[in-house]
Amino acid sequence: MNRTGPGWRILVTAILAIVAVYFLVPVYWLIIASTKTTDELLGTSPLWFTGDPHLWSNLSQVFSYNGHIYLRWVGNTILYSGVGALAATLLAAAAGYAMAKFEFRGREAVFNIVLGGVLVPATVLALPLYLMFSSAGLADTYWSVLLPSVVSPFGVYLCRIYCEASVPDDLLEAARVDGAGELRIFFTVVLRIISPALVTVFLFQLIGIWNNYFLPLVMLSDPNLYPLPLGLMSWMSITDRVPVLYQLTVGGSLVSVVPLAIAIVVLQRFWRTGLTAGSVKA
Amino acid sequence: MRSRRTPWLFLAPFAVLFLAFFVVPIGYAIWQSFIGVRRTGALGLGGSQTTFAGLRNYADALAQTAFVPSVLRILLFGVVVVPVMIIAATALALLLDAASARWPRFFRTAYFLPYGIPGVLASIIWTFLYLPGMSPILEVFGWFGIQAEPLAGDGVLWAIANITIWEFAGYNMLVVVAQLQAVPAELYDAARVDGANAWHMVWRIKFPLIRPAVVLTTVFTIIGTIQLFSEPIVLKRSAPAITNDYTPNISAYNQAFLYNNYGLAAAEAVLLALVAFVLSFGFLRLVGRGGRAGGAR
């Protein structure tokens, strides 16, 4: 059998297409379902649109329900994920640079402890963090979700190996001879060289925070502070009493999924792991 | 000029926060797991007093609650999900890399898409896809006379497994793809000149090269599996088989927030972390040894 012939090619493509259907069906359903009212969700064929789509009225209800709380959840999500990931990236870059380009006592010990942090299950941290924040009077505040989110051990690891591979020592020395201060070298020279790694760290942390359900669930009880997943879950959990929330949960899910899914797809070339980051030069 | 303090200046902001939000909580959890609360006075109304409990919380976790069954359930789950996940991710990566497939970019994107959807939202969507009457999948099954109710009964564990595979298979595939793309093309050319066919390429060249990526994704899948929480929590409302002790994390969460039993919750969290460490390091040792043996052959 010729493994590069047209028959083989059709077979491989057919397998890949079937797998693609599996991954895309839930998204397809979400788009169909978001055009339906709660009654239609339960009473019409789930495979196709109804003759009278309600997408816009659904979406406007999503945004206006309960005093526009959905908009607050959007803002909170951007704050937690965006600001959290940005701060995490900057901290990881500085720490990774320090470990890559300076010799100091205890460097490897510190690095190994940080690496161990990658393996600690996040949920193991959440319970003690809640007790600590609540004794400090900070539970149920923005800080309680934001502060733990700015620590990214994996980011430090990635920044270190990327700095080692792509920041030349000669360049740093030349900048020092020219009289540039250490902070200025870091912000103007190093950050620019390692920017591809920074994008990767930022995206990993963004998704990590956006995906972390346990921490906000444990920390927050005020719905005004919820990120989107927690908010939508709170709608989903009372659909028995308020049936209209079925359609709002579906519409709200569509609005939260689509922008990020598009961003993920557009930015997918930045999804590298620590293994390959060093081999891709800036 | 650069002083000896410079590296610490760059390290300090991260180090302080790492200490506060990683190291201290772990220490606090360990301490908490040795602390018990004793009620005094009639009906325990005389107030409470914290006492050193020794290993009692651990003994309680292992004996009194449904914690051990939840650990066993998660191990059963992992024994199925981890191999399925890794084999699927590796197979898809190799198929996409085989250059005989059409539209590789489209397929790669389609598989990776679910990774951008948080577990909670993915589980909400799949809940609808598991409900007869709402689900297009069950409707199509119905045409062929297959009546399935994924949320009824104990089968819900595999309904959860499907959600986690849907979420993460594409991401793991991308990790392997990235490793495959880092392989220099000359290596393939050299092998082809030597007369290697497609299967030889996969088994002798690609497999050994993507091995680190496969090991990495396996370790992360093991750790993720042990933490299973949001998917069963979301499905809980529609699936009667999901109890308050369904997974170790759900158990610890309920011990802490439903029963205010922080000591027991902390003991469960520490035990869970130990299981995660033993399994991931056990796996790394296992493949480490296998790698040396393979290298000697």
Q: Please indicate if any CB of chain B lies within 8 Å of the CB of A2.
A: no
Can you give the pLDDT at residue B99? 66
% of chain A residues with pLDDT over 90: 56
Q: Which domain holds residue B148?
A: 56-292
Inside any domain, residue B103:
yes
| CATH (domain of B283) | 1.10.3720.10
Residue A267 pLDDT exceeds 80? no
CB within 8 Å: A104 and B4: yes
In terms of C-beta density within 10 A (0-12 exposed, 13-18 middle, 19 or more buried), how is residue B12 classed? Answer: middle
Q: Which residue has the higher pLDDT, A244 or A94?
A: A94
Contacts of B133 in chain A (CB under 8 A): 42, 46
Residue ranges in chain B whose pLDDT is less than 50: 1, 291-297
ipTM of the complex model? 0.88
Average pLDDT over residues A52-62: 87
Is the full-model pTM beyond 0.90?
A: no
pLDDT in tens, A69-105: 999 999 999 999 999 999 999 999 999 999 999 999 9
pLDDT for the residue numbered B48: 67
Is there a domain that residue B2 lies in? no
| Within a domain: B33 | no
Would you give the distance in Å from CA B105 to the centre of its chain?
A: 27
Residue A191 is predicted with a pLDDT of: 94
Q: Is A180 on the interface with B (CB under 8 A)?
A: no
Secondary structure letter of residue A78 according to DSSP: I
pLDDT score at B237: 86
Domains of chain A: 56-166+196-277 (1.10.3720.10)
Mean model confidence pLDDT for chain B: 85
B103 Cβ under 8 Å from any chain A Cβ: yes
Residue A236 and residue B124: Cβ atoms within 8 Å? yes
pLDDT for res A275: 46
State the average pLDDT over residues A152-156: 93
Number of domains observed in the structure of chain B: 1
- A260 contact B CB<8A: yes
The end-to-end CA distance of chain A, in Å, is 43
Residue B60 belongs to some domain of the structure: yes
Question: What whole-number distance in Å separates Cα of residue B26 and Cα of residue A123?
Answer: 11
Report the pLDDT value the prediction gives residue A1, as an integer from 0 to 100: 43
With cut-offs at 50, 70 and 90, classify the pLDDT of residue A16: very high
Q: How far is B114 from chain A (nearest CA, A)?
A: 7
Half-sphere exposure of A101 (CA within 13 A, CB side): 27
Contacts of B36 (CB under 8 A, 6+ apart): B50, B51, B52, B53, B56, B57, B263
Whole-angstrom distance, CA of residue B168 vs CA of residue B180? 19
